[in-house]
């Protein structure tokens, strides 16, 4: 209707007239979109366009002209070919209620009387006010029925009109079966030309569909295309495709004109529908080839509107083409899936090789597994051989389950490593099937899962666990093969990252005490300098020097000295909080970074504890030794502070503590300016006494 209307506007007023009509009606769609023969509009949209066209052209008869134009403009479409196949104007009128539904599903039509040369049609628009422009369109379209069969147009008369206050529009048609448009030969040529155009259009449409289907990247996209293009065969406001391909757990549903909830309910009905049953407002056909049954394709009219009987065969032919495309697409999808798996494994190997820590590598691994093996959940646990602990460090879930909320995140079990090394292959684990392995499920929240050890050269690096339905996943041989490939890649990557972690740890930690070394300590202090300036928080740096370490080292040897340094480190760690940093920054010198210091007094409390702890005797290799310690304190950051300046202040305060008798702490004080004299460190009034 609207395509024909814009065609009339264009013939009279050109492109400018079409643009003006679109603007005046408030239409946001383009003219090209509106003129698509399988598009639908609301009553309000259509009426606004008809009224705008009448105003722009100054022609109240534009509706009748559009009704005539629709048969000329769409002469080569499937719909008019279908109408022509019905046989005669009289037969067309007998099925007019079904024909009118192809252009309006808010209008009710009824056949009152039909003869060989005349007909009487009743039209009612129940829920809307009938507009004379639409009455004119109906008259114009009905006048062209005889033209479809080579006759002169019918004369039409609106005996009653709903727009004039009558309860219905009653329209009479009269035509002359003996009349003809041009000579018989001319008409025959015209009919052949129109038939050729229909065949050409049908071929171009099928070719277009084939090209579109071949360019889609997956089966779902292809099904979406088939559903949207169902209008090529049958004009209807709603379509539904329900298909299930090999390997699908549930049917795939695609629809046009439904909400999601409506589509799901309609899909259940369509699958149960008896195809031998005829329903006038619903067409349901099977999508099947000689070898496979994929599902069903359905077209829907509102209740009390009817499809033409001939449309079933058209939809069946289209469904058969869809089945052939689906069969090809299913094979292509399987091939793409294999290629995708290989690509995903290669990508995973590259990504894992690029990661710098085991934790990040584990998360990349967890994120990649669902796409590679088609599961909803993936969990990665890493094995700590020193503490015999298996800890979940990474999880990915494509379902609503919050795996991060799982209460247990680590399990300590010395036998676990041996069990996993003996498995070496993907294994189905439930709460009762493997008592030793079932604690792995507690780390994931899975009721059952497929567990895959990550091993290489008889070394356990960790475990993969996927779910949630372990039984279903375990039956998929292809999936298990993919998981084995993933585990091999993971073992190589995690082995390399473990070595890298060890090298990194050695480069940043003291080999004797295991504390942070001077390099790491400088990095931490520099970071907190920046953070402190931005947040305004205060920190303290404590410089600790052992008072009599050289005497112990010289008297008892370096082995005793090294062991003494280790136990000193343990006491320092036990004295401060976990968030504070303890480092060995020299031979017998230690640095401590204390966070959250509100005042000088807070820092001096910590320093007093350190002096007291290190003032107590140590038992080293069967010998009791005493060393004591002097501690220098400085608070930071100040505006011009650097790492060197902060350490220098703490070091200066520490030397002042030693000068004052050792075994005590000293807080750095800014120097007092004296004429002709340099600054000096002032002694704190707080004294812990000698050790």
Phi-psi region of 283 (alpha: psi -120 to 50; beta: other; left: phi over 0): beta
- Cα–Cα distance between 466 and 367 in angstroms, integer? 12
- Cα–Cα distance between 381 and 392 in angstroms, integer? 4
Count the neighbouring beta carbons within 10 Å of the beta carbon of residue 543.
30
Spell out a b/e string for 248-281, using b for 16 or more CB atoms within 10 Å of the CB, else e. Answer: eeebbbbbbebeeeebeebbeebeeeeeeeeebb
Count helices and strands in the chain by DSSP H and E runs: 22, 21
Q: Which two tokens stand for residue 31?
A: 């003219």
Phi, psi of 26 (to 5 degrees): 75, 20
The Cα angle at residue 544 between residues 543 and 549, in degrees rounded to 5:
145
What does the DSSP assignment read for 215-253?
H-SSHHHHHHHHHHGGGGT---SEEEEEE--TT-SS-EE
C-beta separation of 123 from 142 below 8 A: no
Q: Which two tokens stand for residue 135?
A: 């009455």
* Closest to 49 (Cα-Cα) out of 169, 137, 163, 168: 137
Decide if 588 is catalytic.
yes
Residue 292 CB partners (closer than 8 Å, separation 6+): 323, 326, 327, 330
Which of 469, 510, 580, 588 is labelled catalytic?
588
* β-pair type (238-243, 252-256): antiparallel
* Closest to 49 (Cα-Cα) out of 73, 19, 90: 19
C-beta separation of 365 from 354 below 8 A: no
Q: Which two tokens stand for residue 219?
A: 């089966």
- Cα–Cα distance between 569 and 571 in angstroms, integer? 5
> Max CA-CA distance within the chain?
134
* Closest to 394 (Cα-Cα) out of 338, 341, 333, 352: 352
C-beta separation of 74 from 37 below 8 A: yes
Q: Which two tokens stand for residue 249?
A: 């757990």
Which residues are catalytic, by number? 588
């Amino acid at each position: 209707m609207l395509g024909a209307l814009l065609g009339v506007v264009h013939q009279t007023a050109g492109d400018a007239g079409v643009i003006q009509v679109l603007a005046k009606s408030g239409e946001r769609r383009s003219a090209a979109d509106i003129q698509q023969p399988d598009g639908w509009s609301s009553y309000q949209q259509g009426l606004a366009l008809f009224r705008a066209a009448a105003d722009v052209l100054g022609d109240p008869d534009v509706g009748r002209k559009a009704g005539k134009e629709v048969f000329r403009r769409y002469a080569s479409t499937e719909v008019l070919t279908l109408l022509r196949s019905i046989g005669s104007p009289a037969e067309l009128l007998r099925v007019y209620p079904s024909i009118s539904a192809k252009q309006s599903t808010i209008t009710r039509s009824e056949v009152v009387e039909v003869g060989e040369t005349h007909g009487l049609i009743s039209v009612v628009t129940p829920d809307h006010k009938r507009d004379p422009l639409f009455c004119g369109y109906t008259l114009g379209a009905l006048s062209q029925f005889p033209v479809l069969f080579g006759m002169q147009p019918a004369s039409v008369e609106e005996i009653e009109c709903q727009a004039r206050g009558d309860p219905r529009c009653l329209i009479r048609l009269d035509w002359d079966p003996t009349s003809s448009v041009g000579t018989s030969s001319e008409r025959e040529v015209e009919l052949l030309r129109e038939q050729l155009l229909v065949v050409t259009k049908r071929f171009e449409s099928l070719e277009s569909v084939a090209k579109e289907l071949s360019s889609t990247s997956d089966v779902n996209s292809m099904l979406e295309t088939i559903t949207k293009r169902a209008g090529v065969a049958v004009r209807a406001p709603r379509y539904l495709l329900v298909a299930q391909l090999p390997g699908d757990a549930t049917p795939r549903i695609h629809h046009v004109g439904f909400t999601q909830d409506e589509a799901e309910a309609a899909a259940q009905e369509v699958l149960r529908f008896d195809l031998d049953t005829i329903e006038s407002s619903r067409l349901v056909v099977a999508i099947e080839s000689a070898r496979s049954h994929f599902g069903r394709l359905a077209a829907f009219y509102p209740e009390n509107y009817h499809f033409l009987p001939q449309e079933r065969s058209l939809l069946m032919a289209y469904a058969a083409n869809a089945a052939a495309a689906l069969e090809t697409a299913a094979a292509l999808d399987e091939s793409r899936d294999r290629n995708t798996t290989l690509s995903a494994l290669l990508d995973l190997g590259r990504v894992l090789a690029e990661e710098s820590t085991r934790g990040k590598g584990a998360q990349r691994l967890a994120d990649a597994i669902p796409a590679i093996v088609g599961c909803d959940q993936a969990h990665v646990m890493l094995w700590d051989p020193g503490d015999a602990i298996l800890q979940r460090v990474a999880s990915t879930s494509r379902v609503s389950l919050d795996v991060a909320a799982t209460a247990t995140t680590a399990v300590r079990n010395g036998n676990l490593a041996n069990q996993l090394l003996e498995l070496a292959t993907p294994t189905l684990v439930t709460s009762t099937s493997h008592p030793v392995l079932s604690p792995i499920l507690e780390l994931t929240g899975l009721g059952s899962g497929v567990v895959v050890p990550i091993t290489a050269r008889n070394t356990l690096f960790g475990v993969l666990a996927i779910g949630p339905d372990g039984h279903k996943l375990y039956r998929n041989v292809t999936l298990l093969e993919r998981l084995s490939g993933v585990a091999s890649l993971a073992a190589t990557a995690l082995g390399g990252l473990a070595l890298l972690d060890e090298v990194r740890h050695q480069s940043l930690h003291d080999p004797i005490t295991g504390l942070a070394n001077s390099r790491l300590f400088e990095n931490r202090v520099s970071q907190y300098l920046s953070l402190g300036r931005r947040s305004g928080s205060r920190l303290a740096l404590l410089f600790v020097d052992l008072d009599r370490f050289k005497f112990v080292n010289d008297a008892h040897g370096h082995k005793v000295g090294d062991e003494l340094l280790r136990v000193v480190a343990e006491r320092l760690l036990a004295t401060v909080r976990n968030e504070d940093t303890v480092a060995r920054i020299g031979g017998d010198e230690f640095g401590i970074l204390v966070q959250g210091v509100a005042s000088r007094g807070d820092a001096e409390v910590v320093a007093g504890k350190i002096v007291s702890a290190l003032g107590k005797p140590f038992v080293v290799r069967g010998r009791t030794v005493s060393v004591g310690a002097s501690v220098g304190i400085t608070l930071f950051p100040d505006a011009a502070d650097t790492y060197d300046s902060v350490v220098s202040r703490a070091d200066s305060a520490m030397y002042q503590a030693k000068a004052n008798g050792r075994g005590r702490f000293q807080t750095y004080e800014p120097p007092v300016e004296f004429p002709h004299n340099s600054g000096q460190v002032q002694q704190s009034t707080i004294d812990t006494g000698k050790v």
